[in-house]
Amino acid sequence: MTSAAIHVAEFRAAGTDLSERRRSGVSTGPLIDIAAASDLTSMHWGADGTLRIGAFTTIAAIAADTAIAAAYPGVAAAALGLATPQVRHLATLGGNLAQRSRCWYFRNPHIACLKKGGTDCPARSGNHLYGVAFDLGPCVAPHPSTMAAALLAYDATIITDQRDRLTIADAFGDGSNGAADNALKPGEMIRGVELPLALPNERARYKRAISRSYAEWPLVEVCARAVIKDGAFQFIRLSAGGVAPVPLRLSASEAALQGKPASAAIIATAAREATAGAKPLPMTGYKLDLLEGVVRDVLEQLAAS
């Protein structure tokens, strides 16, 4: 459950992504099968109300857990929204976090790219229709993990066999390293995720915009958490996926909402701020319109709930 350069040993859990890369010839190195120990497959609630989810827990189990849906509804909704029922039944949390790029140039075994030891990103000068709208580094493929985007909104931390309490930023970097899908060390394995105590009276929403031909992979996805009291946003977290090489906090939108009335005008302003700092590629400007629209939708839903 960590990224690995081609010909380097890779961890195999359910193998939903790895099997595809092996069949295509993109990944050809040795494999390390992971034993499903009890701490990797369980969900443990602490006495303080925090939650630890083992890396081997399936996406389907997370989506179906009523306690997770009550405490962390954005996480449950993100799990339910990703991939297909068949994939969710087998795919693991750790595997989703550490999956490899979905870029079609990376997935082609006959094309070199930064993530396969090449010297440049062929998508940048080629077909990057599904690429990033926030150009943060040499690789223009969006980060593939829906669960990472949702967990970012919840200030979750990742536990590995070498380190504890990695933030999402610690685990995935800032997008400047185009050669890697994450910032884990070689041979470092994700063992679980810890979610902090949910806030009293908080509410959350998750939404994705997809292409009908590529329904498994979002063009844009947003997870939003909020505490709305006396008609105003007392707490707000917004994170996005599909738009940058890493999961992205929408800090400008958060700043536009914090302490402000949950009104249509404030929400519209915050939605426009979601694109602050964006640097779209020639073919990805449409994602900015999608991002603004999805942010507006989830905020309106939060305000109405």
What gap in Å lies between CA 110 and CA 7, rounded to an integer?
A: 15
Contact 134, 244 (CB under 8 A): yes
| 10-195 CATH | 3.30.465.10
Q: Which structure tokens are listed for 115? A: 């993530």
For the chain of 305 residues, list the mean pLDDT of each consecutive stretch of 10: 54 82 87 82 94 97 98 97 91 94 95 96 97 98 97 98 94 96 93 97 96 77 98 98 98 98 98 98 98 98 95
Q: Which helix (H) or strand (E) holds 192?
A: strand 190-195
Task: Tokens 């200030």: give the residue.
Answer: 155
Token readout for 43 is 């969900």
The torsion angle over the Cα atoms of residues 192, 66, 219 and 150, rounded to 10 degrees, is: -40
CA atoms in the 13 A half-sphere facing the CB of 263? 7
pLDDT reported for residue 6: 43
Taking alpha carbons only, the member of 263, 270, 205 closest to residue 231 is 263
Q: How many Å apart are CA 194 and CA 174, to the nearest integer?
A: 21
CA distances from 168 to 111, 154, 229 (A): 30, 10, 28
The backbone torsions φ and ψ at residue 97, rounded to the nearest 5 degrees and listed phi first, read: -65, -35
- The highest-level CATH class for domain 203-304 is alpha beta
| Domain extents in the chain | 10-195, 203-304
- The pTM is what? 0.93
3-state secondary structure of 215: coil
